[in-house]
Chains A and B, each alone.
Chain A
Amino acid sequence: SQTIHQWPATLVQPVGSPLSLECTVEGTSNPNLYWYRQAAGRGLQLLFYSVGIGQISSEVPQNLSASRPQDRQFILSSKKLLLSDSGFYLCASKGQGGNEQFFGPGTRLTVL
C-alpha cells in the first residue's frame, strides 16, 4: 500500500516570506499527485495535480506554485506568503491500479 510523507508537520511563517512544502510517496510508481488546502471549518480545495514528472495542472489562480522534480516527489512553493495562505495543506496520491486517493498527514501553515 502507499505511504505519503509530508514535512514539515507545522510551520509558522511571516507574511512575505517564501514557502516550500514537500511530499514524497512510497509504495507505488508513476502516481497521480495532488495538493489540497483545507481552511479552518471548510472542506478541501484542490490546488494542483500532476500526472507525471514536470506535468503540473493548476486548479485555482493563487499565490502558490507546484513542481514535481521526481516521480514520487511533489513540492508546493510560494515566493511571498500572504495571510490568506494559512491553512492545512494535504498531499494525496493515486496509484495506477485504483481510483482512490491516499492522503498524507498534512502540514499546518500559519502565516502571521
Chain B
Amino acid sequence: AQSVTQLGSHVSVSEGALVLLRCNYSSSVPPYLFWYVQYPNQGLQLLLKYTTGATLVKGINGFEAEFKKSETSFHLTKPSAHMSDAAEYFCAVSDRREYGNKLVFGAGTILRVKS
C-alpha cells in the first residue's frame, strides 16, 4: 500500500523567506502526485500536480514542486512567503495503476508566516 510522509507537522517562516514543505512517498511505481492547501474550516484547493513529463511543476500562488524519482520525493517550495500563505498543506498520491483514482494523503503541515 502506498503511504505519504510529510516531515514536520508545523513549519514557521518569516515573511519573505523561502518556504519548503517536504513530502516523501512510498510506491514501487511513481504515482500521480498532488499538493493541496486548506484554510481554516474550508475545503481543499489544488495547488499543483505531477502526472507525467517535466518534473518541475508550477502551481498557483507562486508555489512549485519537483518530482525526484530517485528520492521518492515531491517537496513544495515558494521563494518568498506571504502572510496569506499561512494555512495547512497536504501532499497526496494516487496509484496510476489502481481502479478508482483514490488519493492517499499525508498528515499535513501547518505553515505559519511571521511578520
Binding site for B on A (CB under 8 A): 4, 32, 34, 42-44, 46, 49, 51, 57, 59, 88, 90, 92, 94, 99-106, 108
Contacts and interface: CB of A to CB of B under 8 A. Distances in A.
A46 B103 contact: yes
Given A32-B100, A57-B100, A106-B41, A99 B94 contact: yes
Contacts of A88: 41
Interface stretch (B18-26, B69-77, B79-87, B104-112): B104-112
* Interface residues of chain B: helix, strand, loop or mixed (majority): loop
Contacts of B44: 44, 90, 92, 103
Contacts of A105: 42-43
Contacts of A42: 107-108
Contacts of B103: 34, 44, 46, 92, 101
16 contacts: A4-B43, A32-B100, A34-B103, A42-B107, A43-B106, A44-B103, A46-B102, A49-B102, A51-B100, A57-B100, A90-B44, A92-B44, A99-B96, A100-B34, A101-B101, A106-B42
A104 B34 contact: no
Contacts of A51: 99-100
